[in-house]
Amino acid sequence: MDLLPGDFVCSGSGAPESVIEPADKLMVHNRLPAPDNNSMTTSTAARNNTAVFHEFETHLLGDEKPSVYFDGLLSAGAFPAWPPFDMLSDLKGVEQSPQHHPEGDVWQHTMLVTDNAAQVKVKSKDPRALMWAALLHDVGKKPTTRIRKGRIPAYDHDKVGREMAERFLRECGQDEAFVRRVGALVRWHMQALYAAKQLPFFTPRAMRAEADIDEVALLCLCDRLGRGQVSAQQLMQERREIENFILKSRRVQ
């Protein structure tokens, strides 16, 4: 995996830099009513979800920093509040360990990871799946995060997140092959960390059966670097761990 220090540029504050634009310039769906079972048909609600999905995707694939768009929606109170999009807005305020996530809450982390992915998607074999996986990779933290004795774990958020991400994409009318590709990346995005720490949760055979190792590695690196300011030395260390993860994943038969 050929990633250089210049491939990632993280803001010093830990939060994505953004210029907030007026909501009417940020979104198509501000002109769409939120789905309401009492007033809208299922087909109308599905069309609204599809319209929002395609606008999100336009920014994911086309923007240098998609966080500008998503932060703009949230700050303007224009982020869609109905399912499945509330899976994303619900990440705002979900706490993380300050030790492991100095950048802030899960929303801030997700924005950094998404911006990282935007910078390296040209290296991906499937940039569309990579970008959606980056945006959805931690949706499982909302239902799994607990505060226990001063710690803030989110056990199994990768497994729960897969189910949620796949439901998100299905509710937006996406084909099953794409749903499964994104779901697999979300499911396995913790594997590089597990490999580096030699934890029993590192299961390369199962991962290889569902996902491309290089694509998982690319998402893992974006995730690992989504923690605020990253020095060139830290980047090189993370890169070495990702390279070791790839070697370990291929070595196990």
pLDDT tens by residue, 177-224 = 999 999 999 999 999 999 999 999 999 999 999 999 999 999 999 999
What residue type is assigned to position 141 of the chain?
K
Q: How far apart are CA 190 and CA 158, in angstroms?
A: 7
Rounded Cα gap, residues 243 and 232, in angstroms: 16
Residue with tokens 């002109």: 31
Residue 100: pLDDT over 60: yes
Domain count within the chain:
1
Number of H helices, E strands in the chain: 13, 0
Res 45: pLDDT: 65
User: Using an 8 Å Cβ cutoff, are 48 and 158 in contact?
Assistant: no
Domain that includes residue 82, residue range = 5-251
* SS3 (DSSP) at 151: strand
Crossing angle between the packed helical segments 127-136 and 213-224, to the nearest 10 degrees: 40
Mean local confidence (pLDDT), 44-56: 88
What values do phi and psi take at 224, rounded to 5?
A: -65, -30
Query: What phi and psi, each to the nearest 5 degrees, are found at residue 151?
Result: -105, 160
CB-CB neighbours of 85 under 10 Å? 21
Q: What is the pLDDT of residue 41?
A: 60
| pTM, two decimal places | 0.86
Q: From residue 206, give the alpha-carbon distance in Å to each of 20, 158, 201, 202, 243.
A: 42, 14, 11, 9, 19
Half-sphere exposure of 89 (CA within 13 A, CB side): 15
Q: How far is residue 56's CA from residue 21's CA, in Å, rounded to a whole number?
A: 16
User: Each residue of 130-154: pLDDT tens digit?
Assistant: 999 999 999 999 999 898 878 888 8
Name which of 178, 147, 182 is nearest 164 in CA terms: 182
pLDDT at 97 over 80: no
Work out the pLDDT band at 17, boundaries 50, 70, 90.
very low
- State how far the Cα of 248 lies from the Cα of 242, in Å rounded to an integer: 10
Long-range contacts for 30-39 (Cβ within 8 Å, ≥24 apart)?
Answer: 30/78, 34/80, 34/81, 34/82, 35/82
